[in-house]
Amino acid sequence: MKETFPFSLPQSSSAEKYKILVIDDEKHARMVLEDFLDDAGFDVLKAENGKEGLDLIQQENPDVVLTDIRMPVMDGLAVVEAMQDVAPLTPVIIVSGEGVMDNVISALRLGAWDYILKPIRDLEVLRQTIHRSLERSSQLQFEKSYQDHLEEEVREKTARLKAEVFAKEIAQRQVEHEAYHDSLTQMGNRLLCMKELEKIHLQGRTDHYIGFLYFDVRSLKNINEAYGYSFGDTLLIYIADRLYGSIPEKTKIYRMGGDEFAVFLEGEQEEVVYLANSVCDSVKQPYQIGNEAVNVSFAFGLTLSSNPAIIAEKLINEATFAHLQAKRNAAGNVIVYDDSLHKKHLRRLSLEKEMPTALAAGEFSMSFQPIVNIKSQSLYGFEGLLRWNNVREGFVSPEEFIIISEENGFIAELGEWALNHACQFWKKSGLAEKGLTLSVNISSKQFRHQGLVSRFHNIIEGSGISFDKLVLEITESALMTHVEETARKLGDFRKHKIKIAIDDFGTGYSSLKYLSDFPVDSIKIDMSYVQKMENNPKIYELIKIMARIAGVFGMDLIGEGVETRVQRDLLNQIGCYLQQGYLYSKPIPEKDVVGFCNNFTQKF
């Protein structure tokens, strides 16, 4: 006995059956679906590829389309995309295997209504899926018809009442509402925020503080990618509801755009800060959406003002700046705007902007700090150190401009300039012929750049200095990330006879295994250890261990930051004869290096 499909949906006036189009390049799959759908009381149309299916869609206007994804001529994704133009209200259900879930997700984003995995083990699932799609399609068509009807009515009434003042006022209010409100959450938008803040400015209130809290949903992008944009929109609505429940009534809340919100707070300073933290604590709690429990991360920036002359744009800019600082520190707490931080930020932006022109204008230079061999009482080499004498700011600390150049991507160009300049100087000054080593630092960000080895090889070869007199200093932490890539690059440098030194040794997280595997020639004891060992026996014991490690692996050991004779002697006692620091010399400007070498006075 055949089962009938249990639909309560209204049939057409001619009692036609619902038409289902099956698009699948596998004949067996089409036959199975046809048998089931026919038994369920549907008219079944069949197509063996997307192009044939699209033609049937335009000719037969089916009520539901079931389509595979991988097909010749035109695949299921193309069908879904094309249907958005030719039949946007016709449900399209993906019927495909588990191995193409990425394509299924793509199809859903293009406009597919639902999906079922092949093989279909439970036909009741297919029955229910079609049932839901037909109900939804019927509802959408009804809504469209009703919307068309309403729009027609509005047009007719507008034409009839065009001259009447009341109709004009109603229309104006609607336009203003849409212009000043977010359609998803019905909160005020950025325009309304600016407008209302200006009203507060005009009131000139002096009896309390105002606070402007600006925050965003940091994890919304990942949530959208994982669950879909409809889920993300639902989350934003939940956040809006959570906001209204966490603050006093009549507090003004705005959706500033995308995943960004703002809250206007008033009261005593402590009260405003307390309210801001309450908002933070409330919205950070997990969200239960359907069957999913979602943890959401935020970044909060707050600005406070007791000045009656509030400037809306300034208030928003300050809160936005604090919000950006919150995104950088990633702690999830409220960051309060601070003028001093803003000034530092403006200085940073200015330096970042000036870097390329400063390099071209010759503001960057190299200084060189000697490395001495106290055993042979001779010069061993120099470490090249990059310096920036900014025409506006004066001397800029390397700790400052190196970080900026790493963040804005200029470090590669700056680092290559430093290497090329140092090598050219080493050759022209004759220091290369004296057998002195030249050490140059590589930033961790620069070390990750593709083609680094070949570019460095070309620079060194072009300068004419011997490869084995060049030492590239790389920090310990930089070497211990992406170890396979690190080992490959170090091996390539070794093939060119370029030496490698681990800089700031002891401040990172070295593994003895990697030290044994990596082709490293020397380790440099970080100056923080050297300068503490006089008064801290435990630190000195650690340095002894470093010396033994260097001996086991056949590496040179260099002590950095040597400033006293006691430090010199302690290092000498454990066989650390290569030393560098102010005891011997501060970094020397390029023009004075040759003179220093010629008049070198041993300080042993």
- Write out pLDDT tens, residues 461-473: 999 999 988 999 9
Determine the Cα angle at 140 with ends 135 and 141, to 5°.
Answer: 100
At 202 the pLDDT is 41
What pLDDT, in 10s, does the model give residues 187-208?
989 989 888 887 775 454 555 7
Q: Identify which has the larger pLDDT, 158 or 15.
A: 158
Helix (H) or strand (E) holding 294: strand 292-294
Q: Count other C-beta atoms under 10 Å from residue 454's C-beta.
A: 11
What string of DSSP letters covers 86-151? Answer: H-TTS-EEEEEEGGGHHHHHHHHHHT--EEEEES-S-HHHHHHHHHHHHHHHHHHHHHHHHHHHHH
Question: What fold, for 370-598?
Answer: TIM Barrel (3.20.20)
Edge-to-edge strands of the sheet including 64-67? 43-47, 19-23, 64-67, 92-97, 114-118
Q: Is the pLDDT of residue 452 over 60?
A: yes
Contact assessment for residue 396 and residue 351, using Cβ atoms and an 8 Å cutoff: yes
At 444 the pLDDT is 84
Which amino acid, 542? L
Q: What is the mean pLDDT of the chain?
A: 86
The structure tokens listed for 182 are: 């977010």
Contact assessment for residue 474 and residue 500, using Cβ atoms and an 8 Å cutoff: yes
For residue 16, give every residue at least 6 positions away whose Cβ sits within 8 Å of its Cβ, in sequence order, or none.
43
Nearest to 90 by CA among 63, 111, 66, 67: 63
At 438 the pLDDT is 95
What pLDDT, in 10s, does the model give residues 510-560?
556 677 778 899 999 999 999 999 999 999 999 999 999 999 989 999 999
What string of DSSP letters covers 24-61? Answer: -S-HHHHHHHHHHHHHTT-EEEEESSHHHHHHHHHHH-
Half-sphere exposure (Cβ direction) of 206: Cα atoms closer than 13 Å: 1
Specify burial of residue 203 (Cβ count, 10 A radius: 0-12, 13-18, 19+): exposed
19-140: CATH architecture: 3-Layer(aba) Sandwich (3.40)
The structure tokens listed for 38 are: 């026919």
Q: What share of the chain in percent tops pLDDT 70?
A: 92
What pLDDT, in 10s, does the model give residues 341-400?
788 888 888 999 999 999 999 999 999 999 999 999 999 999 999 999 999 889 999 989
Contact assessment for residue 337 and residue 303, using Cβ atoms and an 8 Å cutoff: yes
User: In the chain, what are the domain boundaries?
Assistant: 19-140, 183-337, 370-598
Q: How many residues does the chain have?
A: 604
Q: How far is the C-alpha of 368 from the C-alpha of 346, rounded, in Å?
A: 31
Nearest to 487 by CA among 479, 499, 495: 479
Q: What share of the chain in percent tops pLDDT 90?
A: 44
Q: Is the pLDDT of residue 4 over 50?
A: no
- As a whole number, mean pLDDT of residues 161-171 equals 66
Q: How far is the C-alpha of 255 from the C-alpha of 263, rounded, in Å?
A: 9
Q: Is the pLDDT of residue 6 over 50?
A: no
For 66, 98, 121, 454, the CA distances from 117, given in Å and listed in that order, are 12, 6, 9, 50
Q: Could you tell me the CATH superfamily of domain 183-337?
A: Reverse transcriptase/Diguanylate cyclase domain (3.30.70.270)
Determine the Cα angle at 437 with ends 435 and 443, to 5°.
Answer: 160
At 509 the pLDDT is 60
Q: Is the pLDDT of residue 10 over 50?
A: no
At 12 the pLDDT is 41
For residue 190, give every residue at least 6 positions away whose Cβ sits within 8 Å of its Cβ, in sequence order, or none.
254, 256, 257
Lowest mean pLDDT among 30-44, 200-214, 413-427, 475-489: 200-214
Q: Distance of alpha carbon 341 from its chain centroid, rounded? A: 22
- As a whole number, mean pLDDT of residues 397-405 equals 91
What pLDDT, in 10s, does the model give residues 54-76?
999 999 999 999 999 989 889 98
What pLDDT, in 10s, does the model give residues 83-95?
999 888 899 999 8
Rounded to the nearest 10 degrees, what angle do helices 398-408 and 411-428 cross at? Answer: 130
> 72-76, 372-376, 447-451, 494-498: which has the highest mean pLDDT?
372-376
